[in-house]
Amino acid sequence: MARIAFIGAGSFGFTRTLVKDILTFPILTDSTIVLMDIDSERLGYITKAVNKIVAAGNYPAKVISTTNRAEALKGADAVICTILSGRVDVWRHDIEIPKKYGVDTNVGDTRGPSGVFRALRTLPVMLGICKDIERYCPNAIFLNYTNPMAMLCHGMQKTSKVTVSGLCHSVQGTAEMLAKWAGVPYNEVDYVCAGINHQAWYLEFKHKNKCLYPKLNKAVRENKKIYNEEQVRNELFIHLGYYITESSGHNSEYNPWFRKRADLIKKYCTSGTGWNPGEYAYILKAYAASEKNKKWKKYIEDWLKESKVDIKRGHEYAAFIINAWMGGDLFKFNGNVPNKGLITNLPYDACVEVPVVASRNKLDSVHVGALPPQLAALNNISISVENMAVDASLTGDAEMVFHAIAYDPLTSAVLSLAEIRKMVQEMLYKNKAYLPQFKNLKIT
């Protein structure tokens, strides 16, 4: 019987989806699902939802809910993390302060000024979770869904002995999209995807051993419907030669080319037809709308009233990985792991996203080799920012926070060093309550 702990279980969509998937595996149907969240109201709702899934599948699973993290982790075989450190109002400052200075943010949970500050707030919490895992379930696998993925995973992997991997559905999601554009069944596609989180590249994308890039290149250049679906990513594909993971909105933030002028934002970031072309504060607005009058609560209540529950397995990685970890079938996925020479032209020990094979009590990362230089160049800039931000968080060095954000591609394309320093100082003071590791927030 597996014991699977969800930390931040009140993340309704993720927890519900992952529990549904986990219980479809024969060796996991009798799992003990432990739901932990510091928000007792959300915890109560997700407990009802998980019990509904268990009943719908007639599973012999056991459900426990608690607000005590230590209690949740005791004896766990697997830990899944979906926490958010700081509510919507805190995130709003991360996005609105840079906008005041001229840095226009779409999501801001992964990179850029807002991504760095989310890492500064969240990493101490994550390291606390790792310490508790070392104490209460040292042999557990820790699967992280919380952003900023690369910075949090790098910080944990650098300082903890816990087996940590970060998971993002953008790899399989993008592969499905590309297969559809190429007109081939997704289950017949083979690919090699590697780089860093949200900025990984399909180095190979094949159908029956035939490269699909010529077909995709033609479709992106000649089919306006396809081009408009992912304008930023399609521009990157046209000019860099390889397709990138994650939405156009996210990727518009990770480079200097699409968001530094109003005309470029209008051209590439607000008229696309994909789920997130790049509108300012897009996800923040959605979160704020959900929080207003507790709309999230009505959504859950409506779902709980539905008579039918879809218990069909989805494509999130976590359930497959836990099944393999507990002795089920091997599973290959793209995970965020330390770069122990896996990608030879990215920094050693940086957090990279590469193919990984999960087996009983083991994760084996796959050697990729060198990325094409134009891809490595973009990844290396992001890694430099991420590594400095992590070191700043671990040491409480406010000056290094400034240095990290000074090299962010979008910020440096828009602002001078003096302007960046002023902006970072304002953000540090605004986040003071969430930065206990910093003894001095003044940057000189």
Residues identified as active-site: 169, 254
Three-state secondary structure readout of 430-441: HCHHHCCCCCCC
Question: What's the count of helices (H) and strands (E) in the chain, helices before strands?
Answer: 19, 12
Q: With CA atoms as reference, report the closest residue to 250 among 111, 64, 417, 144.
A: 111
DSSP-derived pairing of the beta strands 78-81 and 199-207: unpaired
| Amino acid present at 279 | E
3-state secondary structure of 29: coil
Distance CA 314, CA 20 (A): 8
Beta-bridge partner residues of 358: 331, 363
Q: With CA atoms as reference, report the closest residue to 206 among 243, 251, 169, 245.
A: 243
Maximum Cα–Cα distance for the chain, whole Å?
62
Rg (Cα) of the chain, in Å, rounded?
21
Cα distances (angstroms) measured from residue 354 to each of 201, 338, 342, 359: 10, 10, 8, 16
Contact 136, 77 (CB under 8 A): no
Computed from CA positions of residues 116, 201, 79, 43, in that sequence, does the dihedral angle turn out positive or negative? positive
In angstroms, the first-to-last Cα distance of the chain is 55
